[in-house]
Amino acid sequence: MILYFRKRSIVSRDEEDLISDLCDYFKPDQNVISEIKNTIQRVNSIAKIKRGDVHPIQTDEIVTRNSELIYLHQRNVLFTVWRKNSNKSERYWGDLFITSERIIYKSDKPKNIPISNIISYESNKNYIFITSKTANNSGEFDVGKDADLVEAYIEQSVKRFHRQIDLRQSTNNSRHITQEIRNTVWQRCNGRCVECSSTSYLEFDHIIPFSKGGSNSEKNIQLLCRACNLSKSDRI
């Protein structure tokens, strides 16, 4: 049962009630009940992260850029480096940070992996495998039992990053929205259309149209999906 739920995207309320009824009937050991509850909570937490329910955290342990947001700080992460032409390895302990722009490994063997350079990533048991465009930034990180959680945060960061750089905006310099403002607006709107909560075909929209004197300030910019943006244009 535990393995089954770890593969699920979310555990519904009906399924939770069914599990509770089964536990009442079979009366398993309390440790088993605790493990089931923790697994359900974990699966649902990961599902929320993958849906975009993430909130920036504050930490003074790394220096971030102006518009960079930190999503996760994972402590006690092991990174192993294998020497070429040798069976010997070096092991380093450090902290892993996932931000809106980078994956940062802070240790005696530091790594700084731009999100734009990530080719692939996956979790397997206790490990996160990251393949970057540069070999020096590729490798495997032992994050313990939190591998699937860390993978969910990486997935969300990659999705948000590429949605931002792919979002349509005017090429007219007078209408240009800076990257910093785009990042701020994206976080304020939680990566969703403010009208219908869609996460597809998002566009930056001037609340007061640029043609009517609207500014490029963050207070005048919002996220709309293409359909809602077209609908708004029809009403103007």
pTM for this model (two decimals): 0.65
Is-contact 220 204, C-beta < 8 A? no
At position 37, the amino acid (one-letter code) is K
Is-contact 126 145, C-beta < 8 A? yes
- Which of 213, 156, 209 has the alpha carbon at shortest distance from 186? 156
Q: How far is CA 92 from CA 104, 118, 207, in A?
A: 14, 22, 50
The predicted structure's pLDDT at residue 175: 58
Tell me whether residue 235 is exposed, middle or buried, using C-beta atoms within 10 angstroms of its C-beta: 0 to 12, 13 to 18, 19 or more.
exposed
Give CA–CA dist 42/135, Å, rounded. 33
- Which of 10, 38, 24, 17 has the alpha carbon at shortest distance from 145? 38
Residue holding tokens 């969703």? Answer: 192
The predicted structure's pLDDT at residue 144: 93
The predicted structure's pLDDT at residue 75: 96
Tens place of pLDDT for every residue, the chain, 236 residues? 444 444 456 777 788 788 888 888 888 898 988 888 888 888 888 888 888 888 899 999 999 988 899 999 999 999 987 766 667 788 999 999 999 999 999 999 999 999 988 888 888 889 999 988 887 888 899 999 899 999 999 998 988 887 654 444 433 444 567 767 887 888 888 888 999 988 877 888 888 887 788 888 888 999 888 888 888 765 55
The predicted structure's pLDDT at residue 9: 64
Calculate the CA 197 to chain-centre distance: 18
Which H/E stretch holds residue 186? helix 179-188
